[in-house]
Every structure is written in structure tokens, then in C-alpha cells.
Structure 1
Amino acid sequence: MEFLEKLKKEILVGDGAIGTLLYDRGYSGSIEDANRRAEEMVVAAHREYVEAGANVIQSNTYAANRLKLKNYGLEQQMARMNTQGMRLAKQAASGKEEVYVAGTIGGIRDGRASPFSNQDIKKATESQAEALMAEEPDAILLETYYDLHELVQAVRIIKRLSPEIPVIGNVSLGDVGVLHGGIPVNDALLRLLNEGTDVVGINCRMGPAQTIASLEEVSVPEGTYLSAYPNASLPGLQDGRLVYQSNPDYFKSQAEEFRQQGVRLLGGCCGTTPEHIRSFKEKLQDRAPLVKARAKVSTVREQASAEVGNTIRLEKEGPSIIVELDPPKSLTKMDKFLKGAQALHEAGADAVTLADNSLATSRIDNLAASTLIKQQAGAHPLLHIACRDRNLIGMQSHLLGLHALGIRDVLAVTGDPTKVGDFPGASSVYDLTSFDLIRLIKSMNEGFSHSGRPLGVQTQFTVGAAFNPNVSSMDKAVKRLEKKIVAGADFVMTQPIYDVETLRLLKEATAHLDIPIYVGIMPLINGRNAEFLHNEVPGIQLTEQVRKRMADSRGDVQKGEEEGMAIAKELQEAGLDLFGRLYLITPFLRYHITAALMNDVKASASS
């Protein structure tokens, strides 16, 4: 009997995990390469699932695509691994009545930033599918897809290569009931059905309870075949490896709940073993499938908006000035920092912006510092957020904390690598790029976490993008900036500029962009400071003329500061004329310098 005909009449039990099973038995390396290196071990694992009662076993080919195999230097073995994976699964199923073999293709994107383009993934999926289908599987199982677009693309590839082959499409959720990006699971499954997917469902990421809770959100047309492959449990960490609860009896107790949700194909994912599958089989043996009643599907977008906090006045008429005052490295300078914030606020700064451990040098936390200047100086803080220091969990937590404290304005930056700073042995995290961070913030403004979970409120962040005009190709830099704007950036802050001609080129190159641009100006204080910035700080370039002017003041503190002020005033005047917005960067907590520059702006405006 054909696979779909069988599924129409019965609940079929799928197999469980191959990867965690082989690792537990001493295998190491690429799991898919076990199809070459440990054939007997793979066949034995498949047979154990068949003997436990599995009606559907899947080839050991989850990550057998060129992109993932490249991590092991095995991309040239792609076709062989898929062919062999199918043959080993078929060998294990040989002689067993109505045991179906599905060729498995796993998702490539995992919910984080991906280095692969859609075209890269399309080619990798297509070549893997061709290799699998050459061995005539009973179905193709597409599993662990966090990215709905990627899964839809995979379904289209399979249906184009072989319109008749049954396709099982399983999504992996960011949180209960939702995919990453806030897509409700019901919407995702309906989309897959519209694309011609024959069986739709959920796998991985969650154990039985959360998988069932997610299925409760599903209301699909009658006659739809649903699948579920939960993990054994939430994972723990032991000796550097993920481990799962051994809970076959619990799985047995949950089997009827899956049946009540209309599931027709029920297997296991990470951490599950033949014992878990045997438990499902024993509970569901000879039990007829149920047609699920239409559920009342909730919408994650029915959320209350958060109270709008004070935000930077991007539409302000007349000059607009953001002033940077970095948190100090030492607690002994905190009083001076707070006095500086007060002085800059009183001088008319629209916002006091605080870097996030710039140059990878540890400073007082800018969240704590911004809270203090808001409370004690009445200043409006604008925080830099670097991707370097926080993983995705910490990043979202940090943003939620900012919102809870009423801080609404942020600048998304990549962050200098740790080897630049005073802790060169520290790790650079970079779970997110600056593009990803902008998108995350905008998703939170829509009321969703990165995982797609509703936040309950919509955050009200205004997010800035950093831009470096001190490059050999302004056009390429602007193209990169355009991508940040597409990601959702509301305004731009540039690296310090030390040349009026660069300001003019920047204006010309960005004339088509309808977004406020704050041009960076950082006063120099002496010749040594100028040479350090030019030669040692990434993203900053000084002209020969500026370096000469500052060199002439070498050894004279007052003259150096005066010359630095004179250069800054020239740039400030040109920046205001071209852009109307300034980003003044305070050197070494010398806030009197930036306050004086702001007073010049006010004097010019009133004259």
C-alpha cells in the first residue's frame, strides 16, 4: 500500500533520533559520514527502530548537503552519502511489511544569522534531493526548518523534481505556537499545504508538552495529515554535550494527546531512542486516527502597545546635535562623568550617546551609566549596543531591560573584536550582525521576540545605524548602509570625519536616502592623539593637512586643544550646512570642549 493511502487509514509511527543514538554508542564526527565509515552501526540503529514498531524510518542524511558537509571537508562526498544513506535505510527495512523509507533533508538556517544566500541553499537542497530521489524513497521528509521561506523553497524543489512523491514538511518553532519572526504555526502549516505539501507538522526544539500545546493552535482543513516529532525533553549539558531525559513511559502517556490533536505520523527527534518509539507504538497500536475539531486559533498580534517613551527628535527643525560621552573605565571618574552629562544636557544636546565598551575596552556598563544620567542629570540617553559581547539570549534580555527603564533610542553596532582591547583572551560572541540586531529590534517593535514569542507589548525603540565614510569606496559603503535601512534603521551616525571634502562626498553619495544622518566630529587634543587615531584606530582617517596642523602644536597642551577646536569648528560648520545634524564625540571626558562647540552652534543660530 502506498504511503499516503496507509496514512489515510492509520496512525503511523515514525522512528527517533539517529544522531544522538550513534553518539551515545561511541561514534564521533559527521553523523552523515557514518553512512560510509560505520555502515553496520547505521543499519543496526535503523533496525532497532523497525523492531520497536516504527512504520516510517528516515535515511541518515539530515545534514548531507554541500554547505554543512563543507565544515568537515566532505562536500565532495555529498552524493555518495545520500545514496548510501538511502540504501542502508532500505536494507534495514527489507523484509518488513509496510515499513516506509523517507529520504531526509534538514533545514540549513537555524534561526540565527546565516552566511548562506537563498541561492546557495537552493542549490544545496536541489543537489541533495536529486541524490536521494535516485534511490526511490517512499517519501521525502523535510525537517527542522526554522525559516519558513527556506522550507517553502525546498517543497517547490521536490515537487518540481518529482510531482508525485509524498512530501512531509516539518517546521521547528521559536516558541510555543510560533516560528521565528512571529509567524503563527497555523499560518505556516496552511502555507505549506497551499504549496502542495502532503503532510505538515512540527519537529525538534521542544518536548511532547510544548509540541502538543503548539498543535492546539492548529486549525487546518479536514483531511490534512499532521505529523509530530518531539524531542525527548529539553536538553541539559553534561561533559560538554547535550543530553536528554530518558523518559519512554512519559512518551507513552502523551501518545493519546497527540492522537487527540489529529496527528497521523508520530515519531521522535533529538534524544529519543527505540524505547520511546516502542512506547508510542504500544499506546497507539490499532487505534484509529481522529479528525481534529476546528480549533480557535489565537492571534499573537492582539497585543497592547507599550507607552511611548521620549525618543530622539528625528524630525526636529533646525540643528540637531547628539553628543557622545563614554562611560569611564574607573569608578573614581563617575562623578566627572555625571557632571559632564549634566553640562552637555544643559548646553542643548538632543541626546547623550554612550558607547558600548568601544575598542573592546571594559568600561562602566552603559546601561547603568545611562540610567544614572537620566535620573540625575535629566539627560536623554542614546545607547550603543555592540554585537560582540552578548549572545542572542543576552541581547534580547538587554533590550527588554532598556525598554523597562524607559530607554528608547539605540545605535546598533558590530563592536570591535576583543583582541583590540584590554582583554585579548576574551571571546567575541557575534551571534548577531548589526543587520540582524536592527531586525531584532524592529521585530520587538512589532511585539515579537526573536523566537517569535509575543512580548505582550510592542517596544518603541528608535534604532540608529553606524556608517564609516572613511573608506576607499564610498559607493560600496553606501550600498551596505542601504541594507541597514532596509533592515529598519531610523537614522545614521557616522564615524568621525576630518575632511570637509569627505563631508561633501558623503552628501552626494547619500542624497537619495530619506533618513537623518548625524555626521561624526571628534575634536583632537594634540598631535599624539591625532597620530594614534589615524594609525591605530580602525575606521578613522585624518588628512595630511590636519595631521600637520596638530603636529605643529606638539608639546603645547593649550595650543593643541585650541587647534583641535578650530578644526572641529570648520567641520561642524560644513556638517550643519550639508546635513543639519551633528554627532559630537567627547574626547577623554573633556566635556567642556563639546559643550563649547555646541554653544558655537547656538550662537550661530541666533545671529
Structure 2
Amino acid sequence: MTFLERLKTEVLVGDGAMGTLLYEQGVSQCFEELNLSDPKRIIDAHNQYVAAGSTIIQTNTYAANRLKLEKHGLEDKVEIINREAVKLARKATTKGEHFIVGTVGGLQNLHQEDWSLEEVKNALDEQLEILLDEEIDGILLETFYNLDEIILAIQLVRNRSDLPVIANVSLGEIGVLHGGVTLKNAIGEMVKKGANIVGINCRMGPSHMLRSLEDLPLPEGAYLSVYPNASLPEYQDGRLFYHSNPDYFESMGEQFVNQGVRLLGGCCGTTPEHIKAFATVTKRRKPVQEKWVTSSLEHPNSVIEFKRKDKTLPELVKQRNSVIVELDPPKKLNTDTFIKGAKALKQAGVDAVTLADNSLASPRIDNMALASKIKEDVRPLVHVTCRDRNLIGLQSHLMGLDALGINDVLAVTGDPTKVGDFPGATSVYDVTSFQLISLMKQLNEGISFSGKDLGQKANFSIGAACNPNVRHVDKAVGRMEKKIDSGADFFMTQPMYSEEQIEAFYHETKHLDTPIYLGIMPLISSRNAEFLHNEVPGIKLTDSIRQSMADCEDPKLAQAEGIKIAKSLIDTATEFFNGIYLITPFLRYGITVELTTYIEQKTATEIIK
């Protein structure tokens, strides 16, 4: 009898956590590698869950795919790790009484991963092919945050086998996956593609999972599963701890069965004691055959729509010449010069003042604070880096910008901390700039990073960075196209110092409909020029410009030469691009005021002609 046949009349028990169980034993290496180096430890863990009452045992293969094993230098051992895992699970179980499911974990989440969809597909397919070639009773797909990815995994199994598939997604919020997909819709899609048991695992404890199930009807043609975490984790002395609460699990197990669950297991922090509590419930309970649902956890349609009254920067730059100027927040507490500079630039005619986010990884006055101070005088465009804030901080920061009515943002990776004043500081990089752009777009739909309804839509106009100063410009354009796919509304380039390069860049990008602000940064000295050319990533000067600056020994003459060079670059740039992005050197806003005035006068002259 298969476990699907038994589920018709029984509630079955899966096992609990493998990773956190090993972690509690002091294991800090790759857990899947223990299949080879310490098989007795893995067999012992399986034995404990069997003794606790588990009927369905999963193989120790959650992260045993090529992409995750590569981080440990084990990518060439994908096959042997997976095959040994099945053998170890078999040694701990009795055929006919217990069922072995090959476990495959999700790869895509909100953290930075440089894997393409094709790489993810190949890694999943490779692992599934190996597991399905072994003597297993089914496949367990678990901890998938991305619905498209778990659908892909289900299809890959169905391309090879008719074995039962357990498909568990992980929720961002109660009843909702990341991206705003409701659990009801996700389960419907998984069943449609061939999953036999569908449900949720990880991230949440029993209470939040129960709430996610309360408004969920019983799926047609499939059974429900739940694998909750033991509790919310506690962080102490660099380690995560979960509360031991088996009695609570027994109580929650009863309620899970009432909601139609037929497979009860555990995820992070659960132990054999938690599984024993679930097993106690299944001994006295039969599965429910019907469930009355009074409402549905469809994504709430409470988003309030509103439209921006003023034109966005992309709209402006498509209609006419537009100038934005970067004015770096000061490193010291006095803001007088910055405020004066912002007002002077507005008077000169700029459309926005852009504020970097701790450029070169050195601390400056918070750009959101300064943006709020100047927004009544001039439009602020705030840079947001991936470096300094985790996902929680990023969403909070963006929600704060929205609350202040600061709608123009630039998503950038951010310089690594080792180039700045605090080289030992942590670089976060939870997400890439591509992912940050996509998440900003998600806020514009009124959906949080985790998928929760925010009550109304944000109104961000999203800029993206571009570096044309590379050997292969086509690759830079390819990155731009990828950022457009992520949701970028306009681009701001690194400064360029060659008329020929500006024209060549235009021809490489003229097929793009997304507007571009071309970067121009005036030089103030030969020393400044050499530093930019030799030490700042993404900036290259021509030999002739470097020589011109080197010939000016007097500081005033050097600054005048830098302005002259910038004007020449502007002359070429305005032939091909409506948008000019001026970068103010060292808060010397008088220079960018002069260049803004030059652009305004040049534009007026051309209109008269």
C-alpha cells in the first residue's frame, strides 16, 4: 500500500528538522556532506524520528543540488551524496511500514543569488533524476518561496515519474507567498500540475500556519500537508534557538487535523519530541472529509489608487531636455552649504537634486533626512543601496520615503565597505540591484516584499545605474535591458569623458525606449582626474583630458579647464540625449550651477534657431 492510499483513511506523520537537529549537536559544516563523512549521525537522526512515530521519512538532501553544494566545493559529489542519503534513510526504516521521500529544497528566494533560470532548472533536474533512480516512495519539494520554481520542479518530476509528489511552499505573510500570490491560488496551481500532497513548511510556527489554513478549502484531488517551525527563533550569542514546546504541538496538531491536514511534519527547530506529539494526535484522529469555509484569503483588494500630480522624471526627459544634479550629503553635521547648494541649483533650473547613499561606503548625513529638508524647494532623487540594509531595513526605508512624499529613487548596489571609512563593517547585499528594482515595483502595486497587502500603492519612479565605461558596451546594454525587465523607469550613467564614447553609447542604446540621463562630472584638478581614472571603479578618462588637467598647475586654472571639458562633453551629450546628470565635485555647487545654466542657455538658443 502506498502512502497516498493510506492517506485516504489516515492522518500520517512526517519527520522533523534534520538541519537544526544537527546544528544543536554542534555540527556547522554542510549537513548533506555528512551522508559521506558521518553516516551514523544521519542514521541516528532518522532512527529518532522513526521511534517518535514518523511514517514518512525524508532523505538528507535538502540542499544536495549542484548550486548549493558548489558553495562548499562539493559540486562534483551531487550524485554520491544523494544516492547515499537514500541508502541511509532505508537503513533506518522498515519497508512497508515507512515511506522514503527524496527531498529537494527550493533555490530561489529574496537573497542575492546569481543563478539564471536555466541554472536553477538544470540543478533541480539533475538532483531529481538521481533521486528518482533510487528506491524511493515519493518526492518532497519543500521551502519554495517562488511559485514558478515549485511549478517547474513538479513538472520536472512529472516528466520522469508517476511517484507521489509532496509540494510545500513557504509563505511571506499569513496566507500569502512572496509576490502577493495567495496560498489558495498557489495550491490550485500545484495540484493542476500534478502534486498529490500540497501545503506549507518553514518560516512560520504552528499558529500562523493554522491561520493560513482556516480560510482554505480542501483541495480537489490532493491532500493537505503542514510542516511548521517549532516557534519563532531566538538569537543568542551568534546562534539561533527554538523553544521546546511538544505539548503545544499536540494541541495544534488537533487543530491542523480539523482544518483538513492529512500529513503532519516539522521544520526548523522541531525535534523527535515535537513529532511524537503529532503522532499522538494521529493515533486518535481520523481525517476530516469536509470543511466549511466562510471566507477566502484572496489577496485583499484594498489598495488605494492615486496618481502623481506632477510629471515623473521619465516623462519630463522624454519631452524636453532635463537636468538632474547630484549633491552629496555632507560628511559633517553642518548642512548649511548643502541647503544653499540645493536652492541655488533649483534656481538655475535643475529638475531634481540627487542624493547619494553613503557614496564610497563612507558615512554621511542620511539622504532621506536631507531630502525631506529640501523637498519644498527642489525635487529630491534619493539613492538606495543594497549594501547597508537588509530586507527589513530596505522596505522600512522605502516606506518612509513614500510617507514623506519622496517618490524618485535610484536603486544601486553600493560600493563595498572595504573601500570606505569603516573597512571592517558588514556589507549586507541581501538583494542585487535588479531585485531591489523589482521589489520597488512591487511596492508600487501595494504589496510588501513578503507579499502582504500594504493598503495603498507606493508611487516610486525608479532609476537604475548604468556603466558605459566598459570594454564590451553590449554587455552593459544587456544589463540595462535586464534592469528594464525588472522595472527600471530611467537610467543614470557613470560619468563619461569622451565625445566619441558618448556617441557610440547612443548608437548602442537608441533601441531602448527607457530614457537615459548621461553622467557628466567636472574635474577640479589633475590629482582629482588621476584619482578618478586610476582608483574609482567604472570611471575612465581619456589621455588628452588627463594631460589637459596636468598642464594646469594653478588651482583656479585647473577648475576652469575642468568646466571647459565638461561643457565640451555636454555639447556632444545634448546632441544625442535629452537627459544630463551632473555630479557636483566636493559640494562645489557653483560649478554645477554654471553648467546647468550653460545647458539651459544652450537649449534656449537651439529652440530659437
TM-score range, shorter chain: over 0.9
**Residues 266 and 421 of structure 1, relative CA distance in 2, 3 Å threshold:** same
**Residues 323 and 268 of structure 1, relative CA distance in 2, 3 Å threshold:** same
4+ residue stretches of structure 1 with deviation over 6 A? none
Paired residues for 1:260-275 under 5 Å? 260-275=258-273
TM-score, normalised via structure 2 length: 0.95
- Shift, 1:220, TM fit: 4.6
Paired residues for 1:390-409 under 5 Å? 390-409=389-408
Q: Which segment drifts farther, 25-34 or 205-214?
A: 25-34
Native 8 Å contact 1:388 1:429 kept in 2: yes
Q: Deviations over 1:545-564 (max 9, x none)?
A: 2222222222x232222222
Asked if 1:313 corresponds to 2:307, the answer is no
Q: Which segment drifts farther, 18-27 or 135-144?
A: 18-27
Partner of 2:325, secondary structure, is strand
Partner of 2:492, secondary structure, is strand
Q: Deviations over 1:494-526 (max 9, x none)?
A: 111122111111111111000111111111222
Partner of 2:78: 78
Counterparts of 1:286 and 1:303 in 2: how far apart (Å)? 42
Counterparts of 1:466 and 1:124 in 2: how far apart (Å)? 31
Q: Deviations over 1:534-578 (max 9, x none)?
A: 222221112222222222222x23222222222222222222221
Q: Deviations over 1:428-485 (max 9, x none)?
A: 2211111111111011111112211222211110011111112212211111111111
Partner of 2:232, secondary structure, is coil
Partner of 1:225: 223
Q: Which segment drifts farther, 459-468 or 142-151?
A: 142-151
Counterparts of 1:219 and 1:71 in 2: how far apart (Å)? 41
Partner of 2:429: 430
Paired residues for 1:240-255 under 5 Å? 240-255=238-253
Counterparts of 2:409 and 2:314 in 1: how far apart (Å)? 13
Counterparts of 2:467 and 2:126 in 1: how far apart (Å)? 40
Counterparts of 2:465 and 2:406 in 1: how far apart (Å)? 19
Paired residues for 1:234-383 under 5 Å? 234-290=232-288, 291-294=290-293, 296-300=295-299, 302-305=301-304, 307-308=306-307, 312-316=312-316, 317-332=319-334, 334-375=335-376, 378-383=377-382
Asked if 1:193 corresponds to 2:191, the answer is yes
Partner of 1:443, secondary structure, is helix
Percentage of identical aligned residues: 54
Counterparts of 2:8 and 2:495 in 1: how far apart (Å)? 67
**Residues 269 and 221 of structure 1, relative CA distance in 2, 3 Å threshold:** closer
TM-score, normalised via structure 1 length: 0.95
Native 8 Å contact 1:321 1:350 kept in 2: yes
**Counterpart pick for 1:170 among 161, 168, 172:** 168
Native 8 Å contact 2:355 2:383 kept in 1: yes
Letter in 1 for 2:339: L
Counterparts of 1:149 and 1:600 in 2: how far apart (Å)? 51
**Residues 576 and 280 of structure 1, relative CA distance in 2, 3 Å threshold:** same
Counterparts of 1:379 and 1:536 in 2: how far apart (Å)? 33
Counterparts of 1:267 and 1:158 in 2: how far apart (Å)? 22
- Shift, 1:301, TM fit: 5.1
**Residues 259 and 529 of structure 1, relative CA distance in 2, 3 Å threshold:** same
Counterparts of 1:64 and 1:533 in 2: how far apart (Å)? 45
Counterparts of 2:80 and 2:468 in 1: how far apart (Å)? 49
Q: Deviations over 1:237-275 (max 9, x none)?
A: 233221111000111111121112110101111111111
Partner of 1:174, secondary structure, is coil
Q: Deviations over 1:102-160 (max 9, x none)?
A: 22111122332222222222222223223322332121111111122221121112112
Counterparts of 1:128 and 1:504 in 2: how far apart (Å)? 49
Native 8 Å contact 1:232 1:245 kept in 2: yes
Letter in 2 for 1:415: G
Partner of 1:32, secondary structure, is helix
Q: Deviations over 1:577-607 (max 9, x none)?
A: 2112211111111111111222223333334
Letter in 1 for 2:105: G
Partner of 2:357, secondary structure, is coil
The runs of 5 or more residues in structure 2 that have no matched partner are none
Partner of 2:104, secondary structure, is strand
Partner of 1:161, secondary structure, is coil
Counterparts of 1:428 and 1:571 in 2: how far apart (Å)? 35
Partner of 1:329, secondary structure, is coil
Partner of 2:538: 539
Asked if 1:11 corresponds to 2:6, the answer is no
**Residues 301 and 346 of structure 1, relative CA distance in 2, 3 Å threshold:** farther
**Residues 311 and 239 of structure 1, relative CA distance in 2, 3 Å threshold:** farther
Partner of 2:586: 588
Native 8 Å contact 1:216 1:295 kept in 2: no
Counterparts of 2:24 and 2:298 in 1: how far apart (Å)? 41
Partner of 1:93, secondary structure, is coil
The runs of 5 or more residues in structure 1 that have no matched partner are none
Partner of 1:51: 51
Instruction: Kindly report the root-mean-square deviation, in angstroms, between the aligned alpha carbons of the 2 structures.
Output: 1.8
- Shift, 1:15, TM fit: 1.3
Counterparts of 1:239 and 1:220 in 2: how far apart (Å)? 43
Q: Which segment drifts farther, 110-119 or 234-243?
A: 110-119
Letter in 2 for 1:209: S
- Shift, 1:486, TM fit: 1.1
**Residues 468 and 76 of structure 1, relative CA distance in 2, 3 Å threshold:** closer
